[in-house]
A and B are shown apart, each in its own frame.
Chain A
Amino acid sequence: MLYNEPSPHEVKVLTRRFGLADSASIKTYLKTDGYVAFEKALKMKPEEIIEEVKVSNLRGRGGAGFPTGLKWSFVPKTSPKPKYIVVNADESEPGTCKDRLLIENDPHQLIEGMLIAALSVDAHAGYIYIRGEYRYLIDIMDKAIAEAYEHGYLGRNLLGSAFHFDAFTHTGAGAYECGEESALLESLEGKRGVPRIRPPFPAVVGAFQSPTILNNVETFCAAPAILRDGGAAFAALGVPKAGGTKLTCLSGHLNKPGVYELPLGFPVKKMIEEVGGGIRNGKKLKAFVPGGSSCPVLTAAECEGLTMDYDALAKVKSMLGSGGVVVMDEDTCIVKVALRVMRFYAHESCGWCIPCREGTAWLRKLLQRFHDGHGQRSDIVLIGDLAKNMLGRTFCPLGDAAAMPTISFVEKFRDEFEAHLDGRPCPYEPANRLAAHLVAQ
């Protein structure tokens, strides 16, 4: 089912089958150009497929935004080892809820994307790593895989060619860390989900010590459209250097939260006002998170004239990330947001390296105390300082993910931190407001 009404501003490429009757079935898929791109790719040379993906300007949709065609081209052609396709469906970034819709509504699009990637590097097996909490998606995915085997889109001699490919689902066990690609591979191999030393990168040494293409669900799902309609057509949907559309997950204090497929470069204000239906109860915008909880927060002023694409957001020192947009209105306590974010990262830190393990735990306790009204002026500096000591010094990007938003909260909303000082509890808590009112009388 759909979780929200579509918006007229959407450009439906990856979500084109959303809302169709029985959209997850292979019957519907085949009726709507399903596996056409795979058929086309079967007749292409691997380097032609990669070239098409390069032309499309598709960038990784998991958060880092690395050019996908380039990533695929890193897989060594001459390696005697088997190659693998791994789908990162461990969607765990707070604010992000798009991959599950792609799997729920159109699992065959993902299988086709895997097949195209497999053709480009001569891989014959693929794993879909689905986060543990998405239990129900495994059934949907398994059913789709079974259908694909029945219809000859998985297995041996696909469409009469010599090409063969097998796909498997694999479930995570509830660790955010396993969304980091190398930790995901460790987990896939049955080990503790901690990241690996990189380099080597998965393209060279990935699953089972073999070259691996590892991408986000949405990235793979873009491949059929690119092959079917051409890389140039996909590129034209977006902005220079970043082609296509992005599934954007609007959440927070909006009238119409939901997942919308918007072309890259969509204006932020328009997205909030028109796609998201504006802020609830006519309140004012206070803060804006563009791409999941790990992105530095933006103020209302910074959103003016801003567009949703990799480069524009990098210019304001934030990120497009996974497309998890969180909109916060004027009644939001930023200290509480910082605490909520840090609670998440302290809970999810895998414990491998010291700065992340100890830093997130310290910051969680410190922010809790601070929010409770027991903060000191020096704590404000300390919060920023601890985050800066984590930034760039941890083993994997999770430490940065915890540090970046924290630094931005302190820098951009220092007055809110000041408002919690001197024994004053959070001014945004309704109970505290009443108390303040009574004292004033």
Chain B
Amino acid sequence: MAAPVKLTIDGKAVEAAPGTLVIDAAKLVGINIPSFCYYEGLTLQAACRMCLVEVEKAPKLLAACTLPVAEGMVVRTETPVVAEARKYTLEFLLTNHPLDCPVCDKGGECELQDMVFRYGAGESRYSENKLHVDEKQWSPVVFYDGPRCILCFRCVRICSEGMGVGALGIVNRGAVSEIAPNHGDHLECDECGMCIDICPVGALTSGTYRYKTRPWEMDHVGTICTHCSNGCKTTLGVRNGQIIRGNNRDRSGINGEFLCIKGRYGFDFTDHPERLQSPLMRVNGKLEAASWSVALAAVAKKFSEVRARHGSFGVIGSTHTTNEENYYLQKFARSVLGTNHIDHHRSGDVVTLLDALSGTAGSLSTTADLYERKAVLVVGADLSSQQPFLAFQIRANYRHHQARVYVVTENEVREDGIAAATVRVDKGGELAGVHSLAEKLKTESELVIVFGDSIKGEAVRELVAFGNSLGIPVKYVALVDYSNSRGALDMGLVPELLPGYQPSNQPGMTVGEMLESESLEVLWVVGANPLESAAMKAKDAFVVVQEMFLTETAQRADIVLPAASAYEKTGTVTNVTGEVQRLKTGPSTMGAKPDLEIIGLIARDMGLAAAVGPWIADKVFEEIRATVKGYSVPMAIISAGGAAHTMPVNGRIPVESRPDLIHSSRDNLFTSGTLGRYSKMLGSVMEGRQA
């Protein structure tokens, strides 16, 4: 690395790497040079002129955002001349700004307000007419109020550079310039809302949040998105027990401020009118409301009765419930109910991957690796549609580090645009496609391979063998669908495996086999909807369902217990790359209980609480850390809201991974299984697309 450049900023000595911009160098010594258009990670604009600074020997003020550090440079960032220039720039900005701050969504967290406050430009000499254009709606998500716009072009850049979409551009010239969609009057984009959150003022507002609240009326709860498997942090704005907003402007998660439409706006299923708020019991063939104590007692009675005569229980777990709930559920099933018929919907062959990587270290990629490693190979997955954060990481890696991206897929994907090489294959031809890239990949110094559900079973072993043959360090990601799909496997929600990928060595039915079985006496479904697409053979089986909505499965239930969503409870979830993060309780829904509590209460009513232990998430997680292989993660990281990578199992897993059961749901950006059906925002975007 080249020797650092020495310079002085506001009298403080600074050492910065050559090429560092003065605006960034100043941060090293705690000096914040204001800016609107400069945005870390995006291309430079030098358009807003807020970062003008005095540089010794320069004839005029210079923009710190485009000025590289130079040896011996003397910079002053807050002289009277600089402060005056900023004050007048703000005065210019406010000439056509509507000053409707009292009703603006951004009021209270507006960068323009803060800047005016800082430089005291509260008084204006402007006495001409203001420009006005009417507000426009570009999509169910995105609204644009032109007069509020200060034209910093952050939205245009985050859309084209960050998202690889490029849906936004600039029309007109001069003071009447406006941001506009590149497709006439509407957006054709991911509806991710990045443009809205990056807007320093209230020019871009969202369909879910606009004119709903003042920012300071909300509590801000940083939790993990409950939709796909990427594990993005979403900060929920909660007011009076209701989620009003989702974003991650404090960049506190692995995703920085990235969120897709689901992470930002897909929370609205929580207060959907059809949300279950009371237990339901089947009376004379119809589901009727019942109290918790009656419903729980009925479940406990039935469970005790079937257990006493060693009847057959089937348990289907969830890909959205927490590690604690999954662990507790399988413990209850295996040790209390005495059944090994426990399963969930599997979407990726993590088991074979872990087995194939047995004996290696550092072969499992994190989401950070996708941003840092020099090359990435994407096999059989449309990342930008199904794994949006992983796609974002790869794009950012390409932009910031010139990473080489290789793509082997059946159809065109967004990653083609940044790919060093693309191979189009027929369905099932992915491995052959990967082999055709061997020579190119051997020239790389390191690689991350991301693969979808078309690579499973033996194909995973072949892929790992291919990786080993390259002679370079290779890391892997086996893609899975949902927020805790990975955790469900880790916690042993499959008949063949106990928590930590220990073989169970006991026979057990899979989801399909349970539905096919005619002798099943009790089917207990916790947060899943297997009957959406399949029928159940055991006509007389007693069905208990823990659910948020009256799904197809819940409609078949004898007892339905209303469950809390991931946003309404604590616990941990494990994302697609095996990073464990903690949920925090945002709002609460009257009548619903977390699944962990429901299971615990059933155990209590059966008089067997001691056998499963307390239904307190922290206590269960302690047990998981102590007993589940890979989960002895540092508590400090988890408690602080960070992501802790699980240790690799690093040992053979002598079970059949059942590739025949592995199928991704192929959710796209605007669908999310059951949850997506109950999200108004996701629904309205889908309707707009079909119309």
Contact = CB atoms under 8 A, between A and B. Distances in A.
Interface of A: 175, 177, 192, 197, 346-355, 357-362, 365-366, 369, 378, 382, 389, 392-395
Interface string B45-68: 111110010000001110000100
Given A354-B92, A395-B49, A362 B126 contact: yes
Contacts of B169: 192
12 contacts: A175-B173, A346-B175, A351-B176, A352-B47, A354-B47, A354-B49, A362-B92, A366-B128, A369-B128, A389-B85, A393-B49, A393-B61
B255 interface: no
A351 B174 contact: yes
B129 interface: yes
A286 B48 CA distance: 38
B531 interface: no
B175 A395 contact: no
Contacts of B126: 362
Given A197-B66, A351-B151, A357-B151, A389 B174 contact: no
Interface string B157-178: 0000000000001101111110
A347 B128 contact: no
Contacts of B61: 392-393
B150 interface: yes
B448 to A, nearest CB: 30
A354 B174 contact: no
- Nearest 4 CB-CB pairs, A to B? A351-B177, A361-B175, A358-B92, A365-B128
B92 A365 contact: no
Nearest to B48: A354
Nearest to A365: B128
Contacts of A192: 169-170
B49 A350 contact: no
Given A382-B125, A393-B85, 13 more contacts: A350-B174, A351-B170, A352-B47, A353-B46, A354-B48, A357-B151, A359-B92, A361-B95, A361-B175, A378-B125, A389-B92, A395-B46, A395-B47
A177 B173 CA distance: 10
Contacts of B88: 355, 389
B52 A393 contact: yes
Interface string B68-112: 000000000000000001001100110110000000000000000
Contacts of B128: 362, 365-366, 369
A393 B60 contact: yes
A351 B66 CA distance: 19
B44 interface: yes
B642 to A, nearest CB: 37
A387 to B, nearest CB: 11
A144 to B, nearest CB: 32
Contacts of A349: 173-175
A153 to B, nearest CB: 38
Contacts of A347: 173-174
B44 A351 contact: no
Contacts of B173: 175, 177, 347-351
Contacts of A366: 128
B68 to A, nearest CB: 10
A397 to B, nearest CB: 12
Contact of A355 (B92, B170, B176): B92
Contacts of A357: 92, 151, 174-175, 177
A302 to B, nearest CB: 24
Contacts of A378: 125
Nearest to B66: A197
Nearest to A356: B174
A354 B131 CA distance: 15
B612 to A, nearest CB: 63
Q: Which of A348, A358, A393 is most buried by chain B, counting CB atoms within 10 A of its CB? A: A358
B96 A197 contact: no
